[in-house]
Amino acid sequence: MGFFARYRILLPVVSLAVLLAATFYMQPRAMSYFGINLLFNLAVPIALATIAQMMIIMVNDIDLSLGAFVSLVACITATFLNDSPMLGALILLALVLCYAALGAVIHALELPAIVVTLGMSFVWGGLALFILPSPGGSSPGWLRTLMTVKPPYIPMAVCASVIIAVVTHLLVIRSGLGTVLRGVGGNARSVQRAGWPVVRLKALAYGLAGLFGVFAGMALVGLTTSADANIALRYTLLSIAGVILGGGEFTGGKVSPVGAVIGALTLTLAASFLSFLRLSPDWQIGAQGAILILVLTARLLFTRRDAQA
């Protein structure tokens, strides 16, 4: 096992550190409790969405409906969860179960996840428009308090990222169940032969994705204070990019929760960095893509060198 394969996490960490150093150099004001929170607080929902996407990529599928799903959750959080918490919580629970059922259906009928989730994105989008036809709603007070809490010394955004990373690391990498789930992505047949019910495992992975999707939507509303049916459409692509940037691979089974969180932070920071550079918006999307390609190229080079060694 080569150096890079063993320390898969190294590249995302280095990318983030380099970008952070460059940002602080450009904008010294950002180097403060207040500044770091402003830079990263909107990365918290993205990190949660990235973890959700990671759960799907882990079992060798991909979720194209995540952005629409997070938007729907945001709409429900800003309306039902705020007005009648019990009903809101029940709806959110039903959504998580929906996700689990989707996973089971995709496996049982051998449907391509990319098609099913693409279809579901329109269902989620339609529901979101139905619940909130024009932007509005408001964040439940406790959620707003949670997302704007000011813990001593370490900003909320950093605390939340660390907690998300540690919890999902324990869940996916350390726990026995997590190992089996990654096995489903790596080689579903052998997991099945070993006597595991793959349908249930897939449902579990999708259910976890739904759960983190719900957390992402709630965190987002806590930050923005209200919702909009299109609020999180970008999250689909951001979350996929975050997983890959964080060392995950499309082949299934090879994911890193800590890397995914760092990937989400890196993507958010890249956008801010480009804005500080005063780069014309016409170039910004391209530049964001270039950063992504740069990191992936670096990864490929390291992997190749390891393979030769």
Partner 1 sequence: MTKTMMLLGAAGLAVAASGALADTSGKRIALSNNYAGNSWRQAMLQTFEEVGGKAVEEGVVGAADAYTTSENQATEQAAQIQNMILQGYDAIILNAASPTALNGAVEEACNAGVTVVSFDGIVTAPCAWRIAVDFKQMGKEQVEYLATRLPEGGNLLEIRGLAGVFVDDEIHAGIEEGVAENGQFKIVGSVHGDWAQDVAQKAVAGVLPSLPEVVGVVTQGGDGYGAAQAFKAAGRDTPLIVLGNRQDEMQWWADQRDANGYETLSLSIAPGVASLAFWVAQQILDGAEVPKDLTVPFLKVTQDTLDEALETTPEGSVANTVYSLDDAKGVISGAM
- Chain residues binding partner 1 by CB under 8 A are 27, 29-30, 34-35, 38-39, 41-42, 129, 133-137, 220, 223-228, 230-235, 268, 271-272, 275-276, 278, 281-282, 284-285
Give me Rg for the CA atoms of the chain. Answer: 19
Taking the CA atoms of residue 248, residue 63, residue 190 and residue 166 in that order, the dihedral angle to the nearest 10 degrees is 50
Residue with Cβ nearer partner 1 (36 or 198): 36
Residue with Cβ nearer partner 1 (101 or 277): 277
Residue with Cβ nearer partner 1 (266 or 268): 268
**In whole angstroms, how close is the CB of 255 to partner 1 at the nearest point?**
24
**In whole angstroms, how close is the CB of 169 to partner 1 at the nearest point?**
26
Q: Which residues pair with 227 in a beta bridge?
A: 136
**In whole angstroms, how close is the CB of 199 to partner 1 at the nearest point?**
35
Residue with Cβ nearer partner 1 (105 or 129): 129
**In whole angstroms, how close is the CB of 264 to partner 1 at the nearest point?**
12
**In whole angstroms, how close is the CB of 73 to partner 1 at the nearest point?**
14
Residue with Cβ nearer partner 1 (57 or 238): 238
